[in-house]
Chains A and B, each alone.
Chain A
Amino acid sequence: MNPIINIKNLSKSFIDESSNENTMILHHIDFHMNDGEFVSLIGPSGCGKSTLLNIISGLDNPDNGEINISDIQSNNRLGKLSYMQQKDLLLPWKTVLDNSILGLEVQNENKRVSEQKAVELLETFGLSGYENYYPNQISGGMRQRASFLRTILTNKKILLLDEPFSALDSITRSQMQKWLLKLWKQFNKTILLVTHDIDEAIFLSDRIYVMQNNNFNSMQIIHVELPRPRTREIVLDDSFIKIKKEILPLIEN
């Protein structure tokens, strides 16, 4: 199978402005994703997960290394992948509905058609009745879902999701996960999910990359060979726990 995203020997460092020191964030990273794969990226804060996503999305460029995304020939990857950042980044002057269709608005889609698409998903995203509210009138969890809806509506083949469910309570989180799996299967998306939650990563993914803070170039790959469709009860399964036991020591190091 041909990888849809292929990253070879990628490095990225930042200059710390206060100490003027060069801090290596990503160090000779190899990373790939196959077409239609669900991959998670876990690791402690500050290990460079968001940096890697920024680079894949085209917001940032690597210092060294190669990054190839099939279907995207040019170097400008911006606007060609769906990217949900950690912050909700909703526009305070737009309603929930107008925020959710921002991506379509930028692409000059017909406003009424876009709104129709968004309205159909409001129920699923737990936002129905709140479409005319402004971001500072709703809760953090709702804002995150509105941001998620905005990302989904851009409707690209590859989805980059940076902790999309972190602000949600466990029931809503579980609903959104189920819905994400449905979307993934139905439209054959390729999804890269950054998360802190090991259970979430195992439950959703085909493969998990574990990033570590102390040793940059060791990204461990864990294959999750659990049958699909998976149910909630799978977290109690021996095979699930076995994978979890494999990951835990990697993170705690």
Chain B
Amino acid sequence: MQNTIKKINTKLKTVFVQWFPAVILIFSLLVIWEISCRLADVPKWLLPVPTDIIVELYEHWNLLLGHSFVTLYEILIGFSFSIISGILIGGLIVYSKTLEKAIYPIIISSQTIPIIAIAPILLVWFGYGLLPKILVVGLIAFFPIAVNTIDGLKSIDDDLVNMMKTLGANKSQIFKKIQIPNSLPYIFTGLRIGMAASVIGAVISEWVGSSEGLGYLMIRSKPQFLTERVFAAIFLLSIIGFLLFLLVNYCEKKIVYWRTLSE
């Protein structure tokens, strides 16, 4: 019991030491922002001070939270689709030379189309609902995940493959036992990039046309000069991004466990 408490204490201590400088820096920047805006008498609609934003978050918490969940939902669903399709298609491309020749050039060249630019067309086809947002998020996150999956499956130590061959392993055994585990760290790199892109995708496709979500709230608040609400929405978006980042990191630690083993 005492040991556990000790362990938790040391852990808290390391977390504290790790984050302390960043927290202090952010806090001082906020204080400078607050004081200088108040001294210069900057109007609230032009640049609200941190306390305005905190008040806004407190007073309209239900409204902001409701829209946050819509955006989070779009990201989670779209991102899940991109994970499944990115890994699956990446895997198929590496496994079959024919599929590689057929699909890979299309994937690469499709990247010259800015996905954001097709959001208006998706709006025309699928309306103001969630589907076009999910599609944009899915498409935007698909590419980094697929490409990193392909990279990971291909960048395999030849010595390990040879070792498996001397044990009598066949192609599918080498794929399953060497290539897949080897690709996992790469896939997580793709997930991190795709995750960041998917937040952007969700907000921008909400700007294009929607009736709910944080992007919609920003667009609606701007002409009303509710700038503190725009800031509150940005704050919540970064919280969403941060939480998703932690989630991806947590999964990575669990799945790619051998990378973080203590010596």
Contact = CB atoms under 8 A, between A and B. Distances in A.
Nearest to B165: A78
A80 B168 CA distance: 7
B166 A78 contact: yes
B32 interface: no
Interface string A71-88: 000000011110101010
Nearest to B180: A93
Interface of B: 159-160, 162-169, 173, 177-178, 181, 257-258, 261-263
CB-CB nearest 3 A-B residue pairs: A79-B168, A89-B163, A83-B166
Interface in A92-123: 92-93, 102-103, 105-107
A85 B159 contact: yes
Interface of A: 57-59, 78-81, 83, 85, 87, 89, 91-93, 102-103, 105-107, 134, 136-137, 154
Given A80-B168, A106-B173, A107-B168, A92 B163 contact: no
A106 B168 contact: yes
Contact of B163 (A85, A105, A134, A136): A85
Contacts of A102: 164, 167, 177
B261 A57 contact: no
Contacts, number: 56
Question: Which of B163, B164, B257 has the most C-beta atoms of chain A within 10 angstroms of its own C-beta?
Answer: B163
A92 B258 contact: yes
Nearest to B174: A106
A59 B261 contact: no
A107 B169 CA distance: 8
Contact of A134 (B165, B168, B261): B261
Nearest to B169: A106
Contacts of B181: 91, 93
Contacts of A137: 261-263
Given A85-B159, A87-B159, A89-B160, A136 B261 contact: yes
Question: Which of B169, B257, B262 has the most C-beta atoms of chain A within 10 angstroms of its own C-beta?
Answer: B169
B156 to A, nearest CB: 12
B164 A106 contact: yes
Contacts of A103: 167-168
B73 to A, nearest CB: 34
